[in-house]
Amino acid sequence: MDILSGLAQGFSVALEPLNLFWCFVGVFLGTVVGVLPGLGPPATIAMLLPLTFNMNPAGAMIMLAGIYYGAKYGGSTTSILLNVPGESASVVTCLDGYQMARNGRAGPALGIAAIASFIAGTVGVLGLMLVAPPLARLSLAFSSPEYFALMTLGLAMVVLLAGTSLVKALLAMLVGLWIAGMGTDLFSATSRFTFGRTELLGGIDFVIVAIGIFAIAEVLANMEPRAGPRMLPVPRGLANLLPTWQDMKDCRFAFFNGSVLGFVIGVLPGAGSTIASFLSYGVEKAVSKHPERFGTGVIEGVAAPEGANNSETGGALVPLLTLGIPGSGTTAILLGALILWGFKPGPLLIEESPALFWGLVASMYIGNLMLLVLNLPLVPLFAQLLKLPAFAMYPLILGVSIVGVYSVSNSLFAVALLTVFGLLGYLMRKLDYPAGPLVLGLVLGDGLERALRQSLMMSQGDLTILFTRPISATILVLAAAILVIPLVRRMNAVRLAAIAQES
Amino acid sequence: MIRGFRRADFWSGSVLAALGAWIVSEAQRWEYLGPDGPGAGFFPLWYGIAMVVLSAALVARSVLAKGVDESRGPLAWAEIRRAFGCWCSLVVSVALLKVVGFIASFALLSWFIVAVMFRQSQRLAWSIAFCAAVGFYLLFDVVLGVTLPTGVWHLAAWGPAWTS
Amino acid sequence: MTRILTTFFATALSVAMIGSACAAFEPKRPIEIVVHTAPGGGNDVLARAIAAITEKEKLLPVRIQVINRPGGNGAVAAAYLAEKRGEAHTIGLITTNWIIGPLVTAEAKVTLQDLTPIAQLVLEPAVVVVRSDAPYKAMKDFIDAAKDRPGQLKQSGGSLTARDSVMRQVLQNATGARWAFISFPGGGERISALLGGHVDMMIIEPQEAGENIRAGKMRVLAQVAATRLPGFPDVPTLKEAGYDVALVPQLRGAVAPPGTPPEVVAFWRDFLRRLTQTPSWRKYLEDNQFEDGFLTGPAFVHAIDETTRQLRRLLPEAGMKLVR
């Protein structure tokens, strides 16, 4: 079916009043779910599934998809305002977003997050519409060696996130790798580092670590001064509440970077939006003219990851709708939902159910627009949250963290772990260990180890498989470049400084 | 002589070195190289070794560094005590979750933070505690249907949790 | 919307009247079905389907709620269920993982012997698939190729304790052929590994691969089932293909917490029996290509014991160490 006629059919489905209503419900719910830490799209979609049985399937799919990509819009809010990551992909937004809020630029941060999300989300839908089937076939060429290379690239970002002490950044990353390894080993079913506890058999959820290290640690650190914490300045006036034209210009590349990288990574089954946001942040920092400013509140550092995690949803729908392969938890539920409604997700879905596919695509354009319209006016509203006095704000943050963790894991053990990681995060701040690399190690550790072992199993123990396959070789060279170039720069800088001192 | 910074590096490095050594010892209990490929012990062994090496380097640097590092002042123990006190209250609150449920323990935590950490009036503290607890209950339990811990006496266990 | 509100008020009302246990058990609160996967996983989808069919056919006076307790291949869910001792409104959905877990994982302390079995619901068959452009047209072709090049052919599948891994062990023992097994955590990755040419074969549930088979991207070599499935009338079973091996079952069933009183168990058994007799359930079985394996009482317990014995023998051969 040719694209224009498909799109025409799609819009005729998506613009039906009832479906428009479901689209709105979906994106609205998604935004709310995204704002609240812990509660995520998978749980919400699963909860709403029974209610969809009496709806028309296209409308139901439109709504559930709306929750999926809507949540990515909302996730940045608490990351920027409270340093509490709304969901795992928003952790990267905390790095620069919260710093921007500390500098009085919470409004522009929230605004650029919404704008970048809109641009990237739309690009993601465009990609889904235009290149889905061929891209899906291409993505099949990606397997364990390529994943390993991709993860190595991600870890190479450590060097970029390092800050002053590379040794401490690497140590933090290693601790992250260790935490990632806790649980049952996939290949041999041995349990590692579980300390004999059943609850640790499944490993430690990323959300628990992230909220502990970012949010709880932040609260603890702010408790220190006797006179009360330094409150975040509240932006005044419309000019300070939205991004300026200069901001938009600065983010030109970030928009492009986030959209494309997020979409491509979304297409790969198994790679997630967290990796997408880390990689786009890293790429943005690598090409920036002022990389040392990243981490202090640079607007591109918010635009790139926020865009990436939005276009990733478009990308994740590609394998789902063209091959029937779910790439992540949320798409797995969507797959189950499609089957329950009587569709047959697989290579023949687009041909056999064009109304579903094109209706969904059309509704995503509409949904992204709705989200932009919803979120931008909310920016000043959310920014007022900063007016809360500290003694009200901090219990709020702690309460939201506890509820968030409990709702995700439904276990008091997890909340106890949260306090442990809160302490760890606080200690890391005092001892000057950067939190970013730990989170990076945690996110990538699992995937890295799995990909390496799978690759070696595929090649019967031959390590050269990583270098003989073209895609993985290319990515590894890139990773090496990212590792080596800044190191060389550093060493040169140290040498120059030493020379300057001597003379 | 201001050596606070170096001492911190020394101790954190030592702790991490110990952790790395422990990881290495655990890793040796598992299979290093199985018939099909690397076993469960492969990765932990290597990052354990890396941890030991890097933290040893950190410790060495902290001991051998020449000169005084001025970038950080002496550790403000009073401030750290405050932060630690706050953390302890959080731990107590989480421990109480199992006994009295979320509403009560969160109210207590809020009260502690407002009254003790910020030294506001008791009336303000209790009213914030009350509002926060009720607000959270209304938002999460009633509207969103997220079940919150209810403790041994099942306080407020009649939350509808209408979603399935 | 009104349905939500009505349910809300009805539930609140019924919760307020917690009646005492009478001779015949009647559920008064929403029922919890505990599953060991995250939303979207195997038993989660089954539980939601059960909830949907129950609602549609009005089999219960109360709602069903699905509780996810993923982790440790069922150990976390089993532990959760064990905590709910005597609780009549909670049941759990099991798979063979709940048998395997305690055998090989020390932390998985709750075994099926601790829980109260209610009924087995379905047996999941499997099919042996290869890519459609592969040179293997029958099971024998693959086995012969594996014998010629030991260890070079590859199979993608789940963890080492999953059914596809144990079946591989069974086949390797019976034929003397050897091929590699590569674990992937998600079904999507396994399928894309096969479709992308990185592995050669999969043993997969028909409903997961169904669409790719229908689209002609995968070819089925043999069925892991006792009799031919209606969806694959032209494909020989393993026995018909010449490999009379033990068929490791992937069963799905329901259990109750320990210490559940007999009248409650009888109630659940009856409910599930009524469920499996509804036309919606039949259709669900057909759509998902499950085998109806409804068994209750001693027959179910016997099936569990049989499977346990079989796994005790097979798992060490697959390289696992038994801890119980």
Angle at B40 between CA B38 and CA B46, to 5 degrees: 75
- The pLDDT assigned to C13 comes to 54
CATH number at residue C211: 3.40.190.10
Tell whether C16 is covered by a domain: no
Residue C160 falls inside a structural domain? yes
Residue A90 has pLDDT above 80, yes or no: yes
Percent of chain C with pLDDT over 70: 93
Residue C323 has pLDDT above 90, yes or no: no
Distance from CA of B147 to the nearest CA of C (A): 11
pLDDT, mean over chain C: 85
Rounded mean pLDDT, A65-80: 87
- Provide the residue range defining the domain that includes C202: 126-224
Q: Which residues lie closer than 8 Å to B19 by C-beta, 6 or more apart?
A: A175, A178, B51
- C257 against A397, higher pLDDT: C257
User: What's the whole-number average pLDDT of chain A?
Assistant: 84
Of A337-346, A414-423, C161-170, C185-194, least confident by mean pLDDT is: A337-346
**Is any Cβ of chain B less than 8 angstroms from the Cβ of C17?**
no
- C3-22 average pLDDT score: 54
Confidence of residue B145 (pLDDT cuts 50, 70, 90): low
Taking contacts as CB-CB distances below 8 angstroms, the residues of chain B near C30 are 161, 164
The β-bridge relationship of strands C250-256 and C201-204 is unpaired
Cross-chain residue pair C106–A199, CB shorter than 8 Å: no
CATH number for the domain harbouring residue C299: 3.40.190.150
Q: Quote the pLDDT of residue A2.
A: 75
pTM: 0.84
Q: Using CA of residue A267, residue A272, residue A278, residue A279, what is the dihedral sign?
A: negative
Query: pLDDT tens digits for A148-194?
Result: 888 888 888 776 666 678 888 889 999 999 999 998 887 877 888 88
Contact indicator for C108, C78 with CB cutoff of 8 Å: yes
Give me the pLDDT at residue C293, please. 82
Is C277 near chain B, with CB under 8 Å? no
Of all residues in chain C, the one with the smallest CA distance to A46 is: C39
For residues C168 and C193, membership in a common domain is answered with yes
Asked whether the beta carbons of residue B79 and residue A190 sit closer than 8 angstroms, the reply is no
Does C3 map to a domain? no
Could you give the C-alpha distances from C236 to A496, C135, C176, C230, in angstroms and in order?
74, 18, 21, 12
Three state DSSP letters for C228-268: CCCCCCCCCECCCCCCCCCCCCEEEEEEECCCCCHHHHHHH
The pLDDT value given to residue A227: 66
Residue in chain C lying closest to A457 (CA): C182
Q: What is the pLDDT of residue B114?
A: 83
Q: Which of B37, B97, B146 minimises the CB distance to A456?
A: B37
B154 Cα to chain C: minimum distance (Å): 13
Where does the pLDDT of residue C18 fall: very low under 50, low under 70, confident under 90, or very high at 90 and above? very low
Q: Kindly determine whether residue B158 and residue C63, on different chains, have CB atoms separated by under 8 Å.
A: no
Task: Taking residues A321-341, report their average pLDDT.
Answer: 82
C279 and C135 both lie in a single domain: no
**C132 and C218 housed in the same domain:** yes
Instruction: Say which of A168, A225, A410 has its CB closest to residue B79.
Output: A225
- C191 contacts in A (CB within 8 Å)? 323, 325
Residue of C nearest to A329 (CA): C40
Provide the phi-psi class of C32: left if phi over 0, else alpha when psi is between -120 and 50, else beta.
beta
State whether C97 and C164 are in the same domain.
no
Which residues on C lie below 8 Å from A48 (Cβ)?
Answer: none
Residue C92: predicted pLDDT:
93
Chain B nearest-CA residue for C183 = B36
The answer to whether the beta carbons of residues A360 and A58 sit under 8 Å apart is yes
State whether residue B79 sits within 8 Å of chain A by CB.
yes
Would you call C68 an interface residue with chain A, using a CB distance cutoff of 8 Å? yes
Residues C119 and C134 in one domain: no
Does B80 contact A430 at a Cβ distance shorter than 8 Å? yes
Residue of B31, B34, B79 with shortest CB distance to A224: B79
Looking at A305-309, A431-435, B143-147, C219-223, which range is the least confident one?
A: B143-147
Q: Which residue of A39, A177, A199 is the best one to mutate when testing the B interface, meaning the one whose CB has the most B CBs within 10 A?
A: A177
pLDDT in tens, B97-137: 888 888 888 888 888 888 877 777 888 888 888 888 888 88
Beta carbons of A431 and B8 less than 8 Å apart: yes
The sign of the CA dihedral B155, B158, B162, C4 is negative
Q: Binning pLDDT at 50, 70 and 90, where does residue B161 land?
A: very low
Query: Is residue C173 domain-shared with residue C106, that is, in the same domain?
Result: no
Q: Evaluate if residue B70 carries a pLDDT over 90.
A: no
Asked if residue C193 belongs to a domain, the reply is yes
Quick one: pLDDT at residue A391? 79
A384, pLDDT greater than 80: no
Residue C74 reports pLDDT greater than 80: yes
Which of A39, A143, A469 has the most C C-beta neighbours within 10 Å, making it the best mutation to test the interface with C? A143
Which pLDDT score is estimated for C222? 92
Q: At what angle do helices A41-52 and A17-35 cross, to 10 degrees?
A: 150
Whether B160 sits inside 8 A of C30 (CB atoms) is no
3-class secondary-structure state, position C160: coil
Q: Is residue C69 part of a domain?
A: yes
Top pLDDT among C66 and A233 is at: C66
Does one domain contain both C50 and C62?
A: yes
Closest Cβ–Cβ partner in B50, B85, B98 for A174: B50
Subunits close to A (at least 3 CB pairs below 8 A): B, C
Contact A362, A10 (CB under 8 A): yes
pLDDT class of C22 with cuts at 50, 70, 90: very low
Same-domain status, C133 and C112: no
Contacts of B120 in chain A (CB under 8 A): 391
Higher per-residue confidence, A199 vs C193: C193
Which residue in B90, B98, B102 is closest to A419 by CB distance? B90
pLDDT of C163 higher than 80:
yes
CA C30 – CA A397 distance, rounded (Å): 32
pLDDT interval class at C194 (50, 70, 90):
very high
- Please check the confidence at residue C34 and state whether its pLDDT lies above 90: yes
CA distance B53 to A351: 57
Do C130 and C220 lie in one domain? The reply is yes
Q: What is the mean pLDDT of residues C102-121?
A: 88
Does the distance separating the beta carbons of B30 and A192 come in below 8 Å?
Answer: yes
Q: Identify the band that residue B5 occupies on the pLDDT scale cut at 50, 70 and 90.
A: low
CB contacts of B158 in chain C (<8 Å) are 12, 15-16
Burial class (CB in 10 A: 0-12, 13-18, 19+), A296: middle
Q: Does C8 contact B at CB distance below 8 Å?
A: yes
Task: With a cut of 70, say whether residue B160 has pLDDT above it.
Answer: no
Reported in sequence order, the residue ranges of chain B that DSSP labels E, i.e. its strands, are: none
Contact C193 A187 (CB under 8 A): no
Rounded-to-integer distance, Cα C120 and Cα C296, Å = 6
User: Which contacts qualify for C232-236: CB closer than 8 Å, 24 or more apart?
Assistant: C232/C127, C232/C206, C235/C127, C236/C138, C236/C139
In this structure, the dihedral spanned by the alpha carbons of residues B46, B48, B51 and B52, taken in order and rounded to 10 degrees, is -110
Domain membership flag for residue C290? yes
What's the pLDDT band for A461 if we cut at 50, 70, 90? confident
Give the pLDDT band of residue C255 (cuts 50, 70, 90): very high
Q: Tell me whether residues B87 and A423 touch, CB distance under 8 A.
A: yes
Residue B18's pLDDT is 94
Q: Any chain B CB within 8 A of the CB of C28?
A: no
- 8 Å CB contact of B86 and A407: no
pLDDT (average), residues A84-110: 85
Q: Pick the more confident residue, C111 or A347.
A: C111
- What subunits make at least 3 CB pairs under 8 angstroms with C? A, B
Query: Is C161 part of the contact surface with chain A (CB cutoff 8 Å)?
Result: yes
pLDDT of residue B163: 29
Report B:1-20 residues touching A (Cβ under 8 A). 8-9, 12, 16, 19-20
What is the rounded distance in angstroms from the CA atom of residue A41 to the CA atom of residue A330?
A: 7
Is C48 inside a domain boundary? yes
Tokens of B109: 């935590």
In terms of CA atoms, which chain C residue is nearest residue A199?
C76
Say how far apart CA C130 and CA C139 lie, in whole Å: 10
In total, how many domains does chain C have?
2
Residue A57, pLDDT > 70, answer: yes
Of the candidates C45, C109, C188, the beta carbon closest to that of A336 is on: C45
Q: Does B164 contact C at CB distance below 8 Å?
A: yes
| Domain contains C72 | yes
pLDDT of residue B144: 62
Residue C179 has pLDDT above 50, yes or no: yes
Same domain, C146 and C111: no
Q: Does A86 touch chain C (CB under 8 A)?
A: no
Whether residue C159 is found in the same domain as residue C220: yes
Residues C137 and C220 in one domain: yes
Looking at residue A162, its pLDDT comes to 67
State mean pLDDT over A348-369: 87
